Structure 1
């Protein structure tokens, strides 16, 4: 018997191993196995196929080292999805495995090093690095990890030195396989069942403090049905000292044991309400969605902001729960999970799990195991990675805010689009899928217009509240008339003041974090740039630093220009920090918060900022695009969009689509309850057609205008794009590689191939970048395109000059 397995390495191939006779009856597809790979390493592989096809004669196969699981940890639908993601997004299958499967459930061998016991060391014959390593090993009785040696001694590429010592017979190297998953445990106190009170009293004797504590503990147990309490709980409830408690344990009057408690909470969330009754518009939409599901089509729900889409989702989830089915509820950002979790827990209690990037690796592993248990979560709210969880009875997929660019994975591989992958998962599991948004992506709306998707429209806000009034402020004209004396227009300041006096709240939207996007010498025009990337640095005033937003490198703020040696460095443009500073100046008595990537780094940062705003502890909230994504606040009466033109003036065919979506979504935060809100858009060019579609809330008109342009220039949804990215630290080499690759593809693709070219940011983290863009007709076979690209890459690598070329593919790039 043989098994084809996938390894957690950036390799597209599966690898075949012989199955030992002792393992053959237990091995199953989707199980984890430990396999040797290379000269020394061992990895956790997933079994993809079991067969009896013997290898070619003369080929010797390695045996599987060990079987980890008695039941599969990955089901067949998941494996099919992995293979589809690998195929469609031109990504190594091993990268898909690494992205989809919790890292703590993958065991890897670790190279361990120990000094040879009793061996005399001739220090004169050792190089300085070798002597350092020997001294470190002699300090430890146990073997030391090779990674630990590198960290402790601050030696880069430590392996050659360690191998040199092994050849000299001074150290021993071996591989150790260790589990990364560690269950969370707690020490619990038990009452021995067979011990009578008289026996306990006799054992305690005359120790009064112990006798008193024993009586307290027996009283706690008598008042509860619990079999045990944690040691921490006992000490908190009784106020006892550790020494008195340890005395009872030593006399065997109490017992203690380590108990696995898990990290996923105690399931204490309780149901506090039934789903709200749907109004006539929601009910009609609900019925149309069910009809669409019956037609076996993905369904696009186009509902204006605050139309009550979430309540429709709740009714759909309830319907599926009654059928014993699970729901996957995808959201684009973890900021959305905070409010959404509270709303769903109120209706469904502890039936739901949250799965996103801020939960740690151990928690991910526990959720995965819970989903495989006999009592899995019925509802999972999560970001794109939750697509890969092992659902047993998936009955519904909801993709909320389906237009969001956050659904696209950009780094690292696989560079998949979660919305489209969710459609494939729905196909594999035969589960209906609902895509919901107020501003559909061009692709989804095109699919609905052409009949590939069903379309359900919800055009009325809940309780018939009017859509917000959108007011355009011509900041260019205001500056010309010298009326613009702040970052905020006079009208916006006035509306904010009125809203705050009436007890309302304000949201200000600026899609740039930091204080200023760049700083510049006012005399000679010098601008500081990142030494690792081809971009100007962003000024962060709170830290007095210049930061590269591509690689994260920080630099000290400069006060004197290095070119003209004058103290003439000034910030140019504005970010959220500068807006916050200006608002604090204008409204010194008002509580203000900022929500961007700098203020939301902590695990609970999102929750704390949103909770304070929800409870009106914060009156003005300033933030980037994460503020526009489906958040629901009752008392926001004014929304200000600052420097709206910057959303549109970007050299990308999607810039107007993204700008329209962001502004429409940001506008939707205003006036969601009680009264009509106001949205003030500050623009230097308010005559642009896009603003007319915004003020009229005319998505269809905007779609028609954009679709006509896209069709004329053959952009999606009328074509399919594949971006081929080539990187090298040597700029000339990157250029040569890109030209050679394009030369191999062009004879087959002709005018469908554009480039190679330098992107807008042509160097990131010291790597120079060149791009080739493939613009392909919708009807072209993905299999043939993949075959052509992969064959061309193989031909490139066959040339010794290009053997180590760095290339990746971005299918359907954003």
Structure 2
């Protein structure tokens, strides 16, 4: 018998290994197995298929070991991986690498084995070699990490190589199991003192050591209130030391026991729904349930602050009362903290969170809880799709329009929403897409009845939509070439809002202090050495940063071109706005929410809670403040640079700009009174701004869908963007044109480009792009994907193009 095994590498197809007879009973599809690839590398792979067809072109190696007594993933997950690899033009190994927590993808770790036949004469060895040889002789085997400790150095390969060359040892590759259960020390009362009389006698006749007596009394109090007492809790409560506890253990009064514990603490499991739906919410819920009777996917189009979350909670309740699991997907980790508090209030410990900020050990624990069915509700970003749901009934994809659902790098470049819809077809679950500003393709699918459609057209509590006002920057005095940051009108409105005890959100889609530094003498701009972009100045760290490759540079004081020191900072980011506000509006508490200010696991949660508790008057932020956050006390929102959102070379630019502005506008006036939105712009008559001023999603949709039809863009076509990368510009250019020439015969009328993108160099690699706009014909799209892969192979067969990287991006965002 043979097994087709997926290993976490970008191999064009899966390899086959032979199953030794003694493993036939223990191996099954979805289990991890230890396999040997090449001369010595070992990997933990997943068994995809078991069959009896011997490979014809090579001799199959034996599987070395079965690592799991039962499958770690379900069969439907293997089907999902296969579909993702085919649809998004990558390999199943790349999907596996994205899908599994690192602890399931075991690593090869080198082990040195002592050669017993060595003659024990160490006289020819130098000092480093002698130290290792002596340790090997005693222990017989050493890991590379141990060799590093012995030599107190990280670069030990030359020494190891010399020892192997002298035949003192040889190398064995071992798979390293990296998941460790968390152990904690618990304190227990010795069995003898479970008898209350004996315990009373002990306490009444206590002699010396008052600190130990205090420690024992603290233990008994904790035991009564908590039921179980950890060593850490006890020492903290009693302000005691390890030595005092050790004294009680030596007297056989207390004993210490190590136990495996969960890294994440969960609330008790309980369902408490303490609200009733409004008539319009109840109607929307009825529409969704009606849609689910005949369709798998339904779109809930509800205006901002209409109470979509209440509808989700009622739906979740229905599914978990029937014993099924629910996946609640959000585009940004920043959104999870507010939603999780709401869901925990209603569902307690039934709910867990899963996203990239969790440690690998925590992810394995969540993985196992989902697989056993113990965790009923998972709240997470797009990666939560890959968890092994046992009985998935519902997927909620909130803020479904958000481009953060699309993975950019590395492969698989999948879209979380679309992959969720495909996964639902495998598990028989329902999908609810929710948004105030749906993606045009989604709304088109709902309008053409491919998806169901439910609508929520009034704000919760009958609150009015915020009033939109434009500030015409052309009428405000400012220096030539500079943008207006905070207009006098906006500053006055901020002061008035805060004076009323209200809060303000200001949105600027650029982080840092200043997006570029300019020489006023010759026009030189400080640029990244590796990317064709200007460097952003960050005042807090006093550094210039590239937001594409992450490189950091010291601040520039003289022009690199003409030597002048007349450098000025142009434009503005969130950091500068925060500083200016603190100067202009003294006494106000201003905070910033962007990638730089919320880097650790709980930073965004702390910031959101401070804003909810009214400890912050003005919150300045990037897109993080736009998406789905719900604040009761905000009555003013300022969009500082609307023009910056409207000038991108992208067919989705008007749709994206409308979504961002409408979403950030929706943060205003969510509970009482009418909120206000001030939009600063040089072009107040722009069609998109007029749609925003009327909160008119339908008007924007109708206008954009006509243009999409006219220029054959999605939803009327499917797009594949092919990216080319090489460190030499000319080779990249030639490779792209050579590739396009190969595709030209069959796809001439569907090809746009190749051409250089606006930013044509990133991380030292020059870029070219070619866009394919294909008809919505599944057979033709599949054939085109095949032809792209063939053309890639042809390109790499030409010597000068061997190192050109070709990356196809299906349904490019």
Q: State which drifts further: 103-112 or 641-650.
A: 103-112
CA distance in 1, matches of 2:735, 2:131: 46
Report the Cα distance in structure 1 between the residues aligned to 2:724 and 2:324, rounded to whole angstroms: 45
Q: What SS does the corresponding residue of 2:191 show, helix, strand or coil?
A: coil
Structure 2: gaps spanning 5 or more residues: none
Is the CA contact (8 Å cut-off) linking 2:497 and 2:503 kept in structure 1? yes
In the alignment, is the contact (CA less than 8 A) between 1:112 and 1:146 conserved in 2? no
**How far did 1:467 drift?**
0.2
Question: Conserved in 2, the CA contact under 8 Å of 1:469 and 1:676?
Answer: yes
Match in the other structure for 1:806 = 805
How many Å separate the matches in 1 of 2:321 and 2:557? 66
Aligned to 1:589: 587
SS of 2:348's equivalent in the other structure is: helix
Change in Cα spacing, 1:502 to 1:166, as seen in structure 2 (3 Å) is same
Structure 2 distance, partners of 1:136, 1:603, is 41
Residue 212 of structure 1 is matched in structure 2 by 213
In structure 2, what is the equivalent of residue 18 of structure 1? 18
> Is contact 1:639–1:669 with CA below 8 Å preserved after alignment?
yes
| Equivalence map 1:219-238=2 (5 Å) | 219-220=220-221, 223=224, 226=227, 228-238=228-238
Alpha carbons of 1:731 and 1:532: their partners in 2 closer, same or farther (altered >3 Å)?
same
C-alpha separation in 2, matches of 1:653 and 1:394: 36
Alpha-carbon distance in structure 1 between the residues aligned to 2:123 and 2:758: 57
Distance 1:170 1:529, change over 3 A: farther
Whether the 8 Å CA contact 1:742–1:756 is kept in 2: the answer is yes
> How far apart are the structure 1 equivalents of 2:82 and 2:69?
24
Tell me how far apart the structure 1 counterparts of residues 555 and 317 of structure 2 sit (CA, whole Å).
55
- Name the counterpart of 1:127: none
Cα deviation code 1:12-49 (max 9, x no counterpart): 31111111222212211111111111111111111111
Aligned to 1:282: 281
Deviation at 1:683, TM superposition (A): 0.3
Answer yes or no: is the 8 Å Cα contact 1:115–1:138 preserved in 2.
Answer: no
8 Å Cα contact 1:594/1:621 also seen in 2: yes
Partner of residue 84, structure 1: 83
1-structure distance, mates of 2:165, 2:809 = 45
Matches within 5 A, 1:551-700: 551-700=549-698
CA RMSD of aligned residues (A): 2.8
CA distance 1:571–1:115, shift in 2 (3 Å): farther
**Alpha-carbon displacement from aligned partner over 1:114-133 (angstroms, at most 9, x marks no partner):** 78784537579xxxxxx978
Note the 1:317-328 alignment, pairs <5 A.
Answer: 317-328=316-327
Measured in 2, the distance between the counterparts of 1:160 and 1:307 equals: 66
Following superposition, the deviation at residue 52 of structure 1 comes to 1.6
Relative to structure 1, the CA distance from residue 60 to residue 589 in structure 2 (aligned partners, 3 Å threshold; closer, same or farther) is same
Aligned residues of 1:727 and 1:768 also touching (Cα < 8 A): yes
Q: What's the CA shift for 1:161?
A: 8.1
Query: C-alpha distance in 1, partners of 2:734/2:152?
Result: 41
Q: How has the CA–CA distance of structure 1 residues 516 and 238 changed in structure 2, closer, same or farther, with 3 Å as cutoff?
A: closer
Over residues 749-787 of structure 1, what are the superposed CA-to-partner deviations in whole Å (9 max), with x where a residue is unaligned?
122123322212222111222222211111252321222
Q: Which secondary structure does the structure 1 equivalent of 2:723 belong to?
A: strand
Q: Where in structure 2 are the equivalents of 1:90-129 lying within 5 Å? A: 90-113=89-112, 118=120, 120=122, 122=124
In structure 2, C-alpha distance between the alignment counterparts of 1:689 and 1:577, rounded to whole Å: 30
Deviations 1:617-645 (A, max 9, x none): 00100000110001000010000000101
For 2:420 and 2:241, how far apart are their aligned partners in 1? 55
Instruction: Name the structure 2 match of 1:308.
Output: 307
The answer (yes or no) to whether the contact 2:206–2:213 under 8 Å persists in 1 is no
Greater displacement, 581-590 / 668-677: 581-590
Contact kept in structure 2, 1:275 and 1:315, CA below 8 Å: no
Q: Is 1:269–1:345's contact at 8 Å kept on the other side of the alignment?
A: no
For 2:718, what is the secondary structure of its paired residue?
strand
Q: Any stretches of 5+ residues in structure 1 without a counterpart?
A: 125-130
Does structure 2 conserve the Cα–Cα contact (< 8 Å) formed by 1:560 and 1:567? Answer: yes
Instruction: Report runs of 4+ in structure 1 exceeding 6 Å deviation.
Output: 114-117, 131-142, 158-161, 198-207
Q: Are 2:291 and 1:295 aligned?
A: no
Quick one: distance in 2 between partners of 1:481 and 1:742? 46
Find the aligned partners of 2:188 and 2:298 in 1 and give their Cα distance. Answer: 55
Aligned-partner SS, 2:349: helix
Match of 1:64 in 2: 63
1:639 alignment partner, SS class:
strand
On the 8 A contact 1:34/1:65 being kept in 2, the answer is: yes
Distance 1:785 1:511 in 2: 37
Distance 1:189 1:746 in 2: 74
2: CA distance, partners of 1:276 / 1:242? 49
C-alpha separation in 2, matches of 1:590 and 1:225? 43
- CA shift in 2, pair 1:802/1:133, >3 Å: farther
3-state SS of paired residue (1:143)? strand
- Shifted more, 255-264 versus 217-226: the winner is 217-226
Q: How does 1:78-477 map to 2 (within 5 A)?
A: 78-113=77-112, 118=120, 120=122, 122=124, 143-145=142-144, 163=161, 166-169=164-167, 172-193=170-191, 212=213, 216=217, 219-220=220-221, 223=224, 226=227, 228-268=228-268, 274-373=273-372, 375-477=373-475
Q: Tell me how far 1:65 sits from its aligned partner.
A: 1.0
Check conservation: 1:275, 1:314, Cα contact below 8 A. Answer: no
| Residue 5 (structure 1) shift | 0.8
Secondary structure in structure 1 of the residue aligned to 2:170: strand
Question: How many Å separate the matches in 2 of 1:136 and 1:505?
Answer: 65
SS in 1 for 2:783: helix
2:733 matched to which residue of 1? 735
